Structure 1
Amino acid sequence: MTTNTAPPRVLTVAGSDSGGGAGIQADLKAMLALGVHGMSVITAVTAQNSLGVQGYWELPADAVRAQYRSVVDDIGVQAIKTGMLASIELVETVSGLLADAPAPVVVDPVGVSKHGDALLAAEAVATVRERLLPVATLVTPNLHEVTQLTGRTVTDESGMLDAAKALHELGPRWVLVKGGHLEGEAADLLLGPAGETHWYRAPRHDNRHTHGTGCTLASAIAAQLAKGQDMPEAVSNAKAYVTGAIAHGFALGSGIGPVDHFWRQR
């Protein structure tokens, strides 16, 4: 009998999506598709489907802390990804845990769902800025989240660099500003140490079934980092994976369907 070597391990700290398209469920699917072992710390449970978020319930901070310590102290991690944190208390709890994280931390600063439903208390935004972003290796805001975190409204690609610089000043080592809400091709901007910049471009697919895109991209980047890729390469490969997942997104329920995490395997 032989013992197989474990694949790279990635931990997601996020909320559960009962519809399976975003959150913990999307994270674990993306991690599996990209060849890493996904593990989870659940921060909140949502009642959610293709039409929106009908409600959510936070887990106690002690439960979040215990899940994290159980995984990190025994199994270990090569990358960590955060998503929905919901409240000031949970943002503070997770930020404290990540202050001495043993691996790169990818922060998806989830503020609202694809349907526009709030997933972060308004009063917690300042805590994300002050406590969570400084412990992030990478932060991956969309343009709505850029406005929420910096007060800046980005209307074109020229504004993405200024927004990335404003976010970089808040403490993360790298910033990926996602331009998916702009017209034209899907362009994202990565800003790193010493002003290093990389643009990533992909064709925009005529498919409205894009639920879980942000969660999936952040998880894909974390998976690539866990496999030893540097940040620009990890973002490039994750972007290619998510672009295909969007192209293959499928209808589910009566509203917005999910991206297809297993499009390559199919």
Structure 2
Amino acid sequence: MSNLSATSTAQNSSTPIVLTIAGSDSGGGAGIQADIKAISATGGYACSVITVITAQNTLGVSAIFPIPLEHIEKQLDAVFSDLNVVAVKVGMLADCDIIKLVAAKIRQYRPAFLVVDPVMIATSGDLLLKAYSISTLKSELLPLADLITPNLPEAAELISSDVPTNKEGMEKMIGKLRKLKFNALLLKGGHLIDDENSNDLLILPNHVEQLNAIRINTLNTHGTGCTLSSAIASYLAQGNDLLRAVQLGKDYISQAIAHADELDVGQGHGPVNHFFVGHANVR
């Protein structure tokens, strides 16, 4: 956590272990399922703590069931007390109590790296985090993160602003976002559908790095945020610095999207192709 130069733990581990703390997607395209696929495909060993069970498919989310706090705590203690967890990726947490518990356990066990994907809104538009829980997320968990990875609607929720519709509007968010307590924030531009590129902004304390990628014309983008944040956590666990880990993660998700139409899953927004050939071991 907040220790981007600390790579000795990762380098001393023969198997870089990455913990995903997130919700389950019964359709398999996002959440814990996407996280495990992405971590595995990029060279990490994935373990998991399930916070929420969703009834979900490529068409949307029909039900959300938060796991009882006591069982979330038992999962966290079981993993941290036995496995050498180098990096943690946090996704869907659902409510204030779960957020507070996860933050407390992160402080207790102090993994080397923490990537937080502030899952609030699904690709389908479904609200995945209760509105009153956002302030708890901002005060309890985001300050602990090495990297936060919101998309544009999530970033807009974090700063109570309108969702930008162009590159200039996206860049105008930087000042307000910097008022949040974070070490680094990857602002994902995938929702700017009129832009021929899918460019992200890595917002650091003193400067901004732009990461460029050609936009890929496909409807199969379910789980892209989960996949990207998990890949970045995996690359951090393997000893890469932040910028390198983010760039590798960006390359990985771009290829996973590019190969998404090779799959035929569901009737709506299908998943990306986590296990496309030829990219699994890049780092």
TM-score using structure 1 length:
0.94
| Counterparts in 2 of 1:161 and 1:72: CA distance versus 1, 3 Å | farther
- Identity across matched positions, percent: 45
Instruction: Quote the Cα distance in structure 2 between the aligned partners of 1:9 and 1:259.
Output: 23
**Structure 1: gaps (5+ residues):** none
Higher alpha-carbon deviation: 95-104 or 38-47 = 95-104
Q: How does 1:45-56 map to 2 (within 5 A)?
A: 45-56=53-64
1:168·1:174 contact (CA, 8 Å) conserved in 2? no
Is 2:204 the partner of 1:196?
Answer: no
Q: Which residue of 2 aligns with 1:263?
A: 276
Q: Which residue of 1 aligns with 2:244?
A: 233
Q: Which residue of 2 aligns with 1:172?
A: 182
2:187·2:200 contact (CA, 8 Å) conserved in 1? yes
**AA paired with 2:114?**
V
Q: CA deviation at 1:155?
A: 2.8
2:159·2:176 contact (CA, 8 Å) conserved in 1? yes
Instruction: Quote the Cα distance in structure 2 between the aligned partners of 1:172 and 1:138.
Output: 7
Instruction: Quote the Cα distance in structure 1 between the aligned partners of 2:274 and 2:70.
Output: 32
1:136·1:171 contact (CA, 8 Å) conserved in 2? no
Is 2:262 the partner of 1:253?
Answer: no
Higher relative contact order (CA 8 A, sep 6+): 2
Instruction: Quote the Cα distance in structure 1 between the aligned partners of 2:90 and 2:58.
Output: 22
96, 113, 122: which one aligns with 1:88: 96
Q: Which residue of 1 aligns with 2:124?
A: 115
**AA paired with 1:251?**
D
Q: CA deviation at 1:6?
A: 4.0
Instruction: Quote the Cα distance in structure 2 between the aligned partners of 1:129 and 1:115.
Output: 24
**Partner SS for 2:266:** coil
Q: Which residue of 2 aligns with 1:10?
A: 18
185, 191, 194: which one aligns with 1:181: 191
**Structure 2: gaps (5+ residues):** 1-12
Instruction: Quote the Cα distance in structure 2 between the aligned partners of 1:79 and 1:259.
Output: 23
Q: Deviation string for 1:141-193 (max 9, x for gaps)? A: 00000111101232322333442343333211101000111121000000123
Q: Deviation string for 1:23-58 (max 9, x for gaps)? A: 000000001101110000100111111111110100
1:210·1:258 contact (CA, 8 Å) conserved in 2? yes
Q: CA deviation at 1:265?
A: 4.7
Higher alpha-carbon deviation: 218-227 or 120-129 = 120-129
1:140·1:178 contact (CA, 8 Å) conserved in 2? yes
| Counterparts in 2 of 1:41 and 1:168: CA distance versus 1, 3 Å | farther
24, 30, 37: which one aligns with 2:32: 24
Is 2:169 the partner of 1:159?
Answer: yes
Higher alpha-carbon deviation: 71-80 or 159-168 = 159-168
Number of residues paired by the alignment? 261
| Counterparts in 2 of 1:205 and 1:162: CA distance versus 1, 3 Å | same
**AA paired with 1:89?**
D
146, 153, 167: which one aligns with 1:144: 153
